[in-house]
Amino acid sequence: MITRFKLIFLALIILCGSGCSSLPFKNIDYVSLDGLNPNALRQEFQEQLAQNLEIINSIVFQYKWQSFSALGYTQIDLKSDTFRVSCLSPVGIKLFELTGDRQEVKPIFVLKELLQRGDLPRAVGEDIRRIYFDFTPLPVAKIESEKYKITFTQPSGKGELQYVFAGKNHWLVEKHYLEKKHKLWSVYYYDYELHNGKLYPTNLILKHHRFGYNLIIRLKEVP
Amino acid sequence: MKKFILLLFITLNITPLYAGTPAKEIDTILGALQEKMAKVSTIQTDFIQEKNLALFKAKLILKGKIYIQKPGMLAWRVFSPLRYTLIISGSNISQWDEDSKAVQSVSMARNPSFQVAIDQMQNWFSGTYKAMQGDYDINLISQHPLKLEFVPKEKSLARNFIQRVAVLFQTDDQYIKEINILEKSGDQTLLKFINPQLNQIISPQAWEVKA
């Protein structure tokens, strides 16, 4: 993880940074979900969700007490499970650009300095998949309904994916990946916006519990 | 590392009208230009940076303000899509952005590669184009308004990334109006300077890293 951190860190030419990790978004307002049909909820969410997202995000990478920001131009096709991303510094310098799908990542451009220090494309590809792929649970997922949330759990890789739906709109608010009952990473979706009648996640945090880093992502524009 | 900063000034596809401008003529033009720009001690200008990424249909547009005070001070403030500030003061560099809310500093002495990048940036902005003749073939595109094209030379590091750079000057040739860069990747960036104010006193607030 140290290598991963260093390579992204160098990309932005930041040293001696400091930052705090207080929660940057408003907490979810939990409301009673009594009487909701979980399968209908899942289906409704899937139908509302944009299937082809072309977005400009700001990305804050946090590791321990340090943080830095970048801009990401990202296109994700949820039907074909493919993505394209260009990551730039806030002054417009391209740091890397890549395309990928569920299986592989193809770098188009990566700053030489980054290539020398680790497999950045793979790391970025994995995080994009964690956040945007498998956005809704499968129909076979196990359902657990509680007063304020509905949880779907399905097998995934060596572990399982857990989806939590909650809030007044009862949209997806959390996604967790667990192995042997331990959370390895989580994505918290704090807010969504409608663009052209479709839902886009706007404020979210990826927490990688094992590696100890956070990605805080804010939707800035839908071009 | 030169390419690192060259990517900052991205581009348009401009066909040179006067490809292969005689060296003597270019020398004269650059000399006159350098003389005019040397009289500029401060610049404050709004900017629009349009990045046309070959991978995407839409442009990424950054807007902000640049302050330059010779020698050695530069503030690059981005207002959208993310509020961000980069301040260079001599050998000190600091930056801040609204999302991380972190102020970070970089020691130039400890980052020689960044020093090279900063030197490149200052060359473009200060108008010391004669010094760039070692790395670029420079052609005159038009005299009124003055427009120059910079094509990286074969052995130049920039040639790995840049096809050409076009620089358009204000009507009085005192400062840059646009910098366009066409990259080998097909990406294009256009950096437009809007309402530049020359030789005006810059407010001390411009050098504060937090917006």
Nearest to A25 by CA among A203, A221, A194: A203
Query: pLDDT tens digits, residue range B98-110?
Result: 998 888 886 666 5
Is A22's Cβ below 8 Å from some Cβ in B? no
B81 vs A91, A111, A221: nearest CB: A221
This prediction's pTM: 0.83
A155 upstream amide cis, omega within 30 of 0: no
* Structural tokens at position B68: 């330059």
Is B86's Cβ below 8 Å from some Cβ in A? yes
Is A108's Cβ below 8 Å from some Cβ in B? yes
- Residue B51: list chain A partners with CB under 8 A: 88, 92
Is A93's Cβ below 8 Å from some Cβ in B? yes
Is B7's Cβ below 8 Å from some Cβ in A? yes
Domain ranges of chain B: 2-206
Query: pLDDT tens digits, residue range A44-62?
Result: 999 999 999 999 999 998 8
Strand order in the sheet with A198-208: A105-110, A94-101, A82-88, A66-77, A52-63, A213-221, A198-208, A182-195, A171-179, A159-166, A149-156, A142-145
A223 vs B8, B58, B111: nearest CB: B58
A73 vs B5, B53, B114: nearest CB: B53
Q: At what angle do helices A120-132 and A2-11 cross, to 10 degrees?
A: 100
Please identify, in words, the CATH class of the domain defined by B2-206.
Answer: mainly beta
Q: Is residue A7 very low, low, confident or very high in pLDDT (cuts 50, 70, 90)? A: very low
Count of CB pairs separated by less than 8 Å, A with B: 114
Residue of B nearest to A214 (CA): B100
Query: pLDDT tens digits, residue range B7-63?
Result: 443 333 333 344 566 778 889 999 988 888 888 999 999 999 999 999 998 999 999
- Residue B60: list chain A partners with CB under 8 A: 56, 71, 73, 86, 88, 92, 223
Residue bearing the bigger pLDDT, B115 or A65: A65
Q: Which domains does chain A have, with CATH numbers?
A: 2-221 (2.50.20.10)
Question: What ipTM goes with this model?
Answer: 0.81
Q: In angstroms, rounded to a whole number, what is the distance separating the alpha carbons of residues A91 and B33? A: 27
A108 vs B55, B60, B95: nearest CB: B55
Query: pLDDT tens digits, residue range B192-206?
Result: 999 999 999 999 999
Q: Is residue A91 very low, low, confident or very high in pLDDT (cuts 50, 70, 90)? A: confident
* Structural tokens at position B103: 């102020």
* Interface touch A92/B10, C-beta < 8 Å: yes
* Interface touch B99/A75, C-beta < 8 Å: no
Is A16's Cβ below 8 Å from some Cβ in B? yes
* Interface touch A91/B84, C-beta < 8 Å: yes
Q: Give residues 182 to 221 of A whose Cβ lies within 8 Å of B.
A: 216, 218, 220-221
Q: In angstroms, rounded to a whole number, what is the distance separating the alpha carbons of residues B50 and A223? A: 13
Residue type, B174: Q
Is B41's Cβ below 8 Å from some Cβ in A? no
As a whole number, the mean pLDDT across chain A is 86
Q: What is the least distance, in Å, from the CA of A121 to any CA of chain B?
A: 16
- Residue B82: list chain A partners with CB under 8 A: 58, 69, 71, 90, 220
Query: pLDDT tens digits, residue range B72-89?
Result: 899 999 999 999 999 988
Residue of B nearest to A19 (CA): B102
* Structural tokens at position B33: 């230009």
Is B82's Cβ below 8 Å from some Cβ in A? yes
Query: Average pLDDT of A142-166?
Result: 96
Q: In angstroms, rounded to a whole number, what is the distance separating the alpha carbons of residues B97 and B84? A: 4
- Residue B106: list chain A partners with CB under 8 A: 13-16
